Structure 1
Amino acid sequence: MSTPEERMREMGIDLPDVVPPVASYVPTARTGSLVYTAGQVPMVKGELGVTGKVGAEVSPEEAAKQARICALNAIAALKAEVGELSRVVRIVKVVGFVASAPDFYGQPQVVNGASDLLAEVFGDAGKHARSAVGVAVLPHDVPVEVELIAEVQ
């Protein structure tokens, strides 16, 4: 069985640097065998590529791609905390926040962008409980933010 890092290489995914905090928090917090990531926004090399509300300025398909970037940033934070991703026993919970136009109801499909990546990288250990929440606005006017809880060895 391949490791999460090997699967990422096979998929052509490079793990980014950990997104530095933009306020008073840390990227991860560990208690016992659980690691909580801070909410991750779709930052790529220090830049936000997409802003706006899903269902208005941002399509659901583009928002799902942005959720995937958020999950990749969460994986980077997780790896920085535990060293090797093979130490991840399970992704326990994912919470996705979707900045939504008032008449947009497809939050679960947007957050699938994050969930699908986690399943691809971690296999069965990437299957998780989840909440997909529509909100009025997110930091920096991003369309989506994702946080996760992982059980580690």
Structure 2
Amino acid sequence: MQANGNRNGPGKKHSERLEALGIQLPTPPIPLGNYVETSLVGTLLFTSGILPFVNGKLLFTGRLGADLTLEQGQEAARYAALNALAAASHFLGDVDRIQKVVRVGIALATTESFTQHAGVADGASDLLAQIFGKEQGHTRLVSGVYSLPVRTPVVLDAVFEVVV
């Protein structure tokens, strides 16, 4: 662990990496039901299923393989990851309190014949690697389903190790 409290490389904070990448975290998402977006247990912060909202609207709707391309799926996964990071940062009060991305779960609304699940999920994983460093890595589970809430193509949940 680095002296600055994160593992983002020598002296590099996550907030600095975001700024260098030209990324501003969006407004944290609002739950669509009776639940909270984040829950802290010990040093692990769990997010609920996060959707690819941009300015309060879904970035895309529909199913991968029918309505959406691989590239649109990657973009949706990237925005869902940004929203998960925004929810975590809002809960913690500081994105630099995140030590590591432990796990990412991604559900995709797909056709039966769609097989590019890993490629879509890389939209989220690549972004997280840019921010937190490839050497840290994270585990991931990607699955395809027939439908998701409000016709979203992507639902992402994450587990972060944090400084408490």
TM-score range normalised by the length of the shorter chain: over 0.9
Over aligned residue pairs, what C-alpha RMSD do you find?
A: 1.1
Contact 1:89–1:125 (Cα < 8 Å) also in 2? no
Find runs of 4+ consecutive structure 1 residues off by over 3 angstroms: none
User: Mapping of 1:76-91 within 5 angstroms?
Assistant: 76-91=86-101
Aligned to 2:28: 18
Deviation at 1:125, TM superposition (A): 6.8
Aligned to 1:34: 44
2: distance between equivalents of 1:94 and 1:35? 12
Cα distance change, pair 98–108 in 1 and its aligned pair in 2 (3 A): same
Cα distance change, pair 126–85 in 1 and its aligned pair in 2 (3 A): farther
1: distance between equivalents of 2:59 and 2:162? 32
Deviations 1:81-135 (A, max 9, x none): 2122222121110001110011001111101101111111111475200001101
Aligned to 2:8: none
Bigger drift between 121-130 and 7-16 goes to 121-130
Is structure 2 residue 65 aligned with structure 1 residue 55? yes
Aligned to 1:92: 102
2: distance between equivalents of 1:118 and 1:109? 15
1: distance between equivalents of 2:156 and 2:66? 20
Using structure 1 for the length normalisation, give the TM-score: 0.96
Greater helix proportion: 1
Contact 1:91–1:125 (Cα < 8 Å) also in 2? no
Is structure 2 residue 128 aligned with structure 1 residue 118? yes
Aligned residue pairs total 153
Cα distance change, pair 27–84 in 1 and its aligned pair in 2 (3 A): same
Cα distance change, pair 111–89 in 1 and its aligned pair in 2 (3 A): same
SS of the residue 1:64 aligns to:
helix
Unaligned residue ranges in structure 2 (runs of 5+): 1-10
Cα distance change, pair 49–76 in 1 and its aligned pair in 2 (3 A): same
SS of the residue 2:133 aligns to:
helix
